[in-house]
Amino acid sequence: MGMTGGGIRVVVCTLGPKSRTVEVLEELLRAGMSVARFNFSHGSHDYHQETLDNLRTAMSNTKIMCAAMLDTKGPEIRTGTLVGGKPVQLTAGHEVTITTDYAMDGDEGTITMSYKKLAEDVKPGSQILCADGSIVLVVRASRGAGT
């Protein structure tokens, strides 16, 4: 059964540097934008506040209402410092120990991470995604807090 007639249609537009001016927002509203998406993974809060102010002005100018969707940045776990401040090369199939002990510097065999409850939240078979998911670590064992 296709979408015909009086179905509800929602047009979501992600706002960015080229689509955040009042003029462009007015064009988007006239073209049918019904939800403006703010991607908080990029840009500062001030940047997004200015964009929201522009959207409000555009809605006032056009008399067209639009919802604002705030796509908030999820939690990030940071890795600690590395020996000599130099990057390390992880090799597929090799084991690496992850610790939450930030007093030590990491290397090819040990990586420090900022999430203190990591050892409690993972179990054998769990995946830890690094570098926005481009590196996948599979948990073999967890020895408890501080490891």
Question: Is there a domain that residue 133 lies in?
Answer: yes
What's residue 147's pLDDT? Answer: 44
Domain boundary among 47, 71, 95: 71
Question: Is there a domain that residue 3 lies in?
Answer: no
On whether both 93 and 129 belong to a single domain, the answer is yes
Report the alpha-carbon angle 118-146-85, nearest 5.
90
What's residue 1's pLDDT? Answer: 41
What's residue 72's pLDDT? Answer: 87
On whether both 87 and 128 belong to a single domain, the answer is yes
Whether the CA torsion 20, 23, 28, 32 is positive or negative: it is: positive
What's residue 125's pLDDT? Answer: 93
Q: Which residues of 61-96 are buried (b: 16+ CB within 10 A; e: fewer)?
A: ebebebeeeeeeeeeeeeebebeeeeebeeeeeeee
On whether both 120 and 98 belong to a single domain, the answer is yes
Question: Is there a domain that residue 103 lies in?
Answer: yes
On whether both 18 and 66 belong to a single domain, the answer is yes
Burial class (CB in 10 A: 0-12, 13-18, 19+), 24: middle
Domain boundary among 20, 46, 71: 71
Question: Is there a domain that residue 55 lies in?
Answer: yes
d(C-alpha 42, C-alpha 23), whole Å: 22
Number of structural domains the chain divides into = 2
Question: Is there a domain that residue 99 lies in?
Answer: yes
What's residue 146's pLDDT? Answer: 45
pLDDT in tens, 75-85: 778 888 999 98
Per DSSP, which regions of the chain are E strands? 12-14, 35-39, 67-71, 97-99, 110-112, 127-130, 135-138
Q: Which residues span the domain enclosing 55? A: 12-71
Parts of the chain with a pLDDT under 50: 1-2, 146-147
Burial class (CB in 10 A: 0-12, 13-18, 19+), 20: buried
Burial class (CB in 10 A: 0-12, 13-18, 19+), 27: middle
On whether both 67 and 26 belong to a single domain, the answer is yes
On whether both 67 and 91 belong to a single domain, the answer is no
On whether both 67 and 87 belong to a single domain, the answer is no
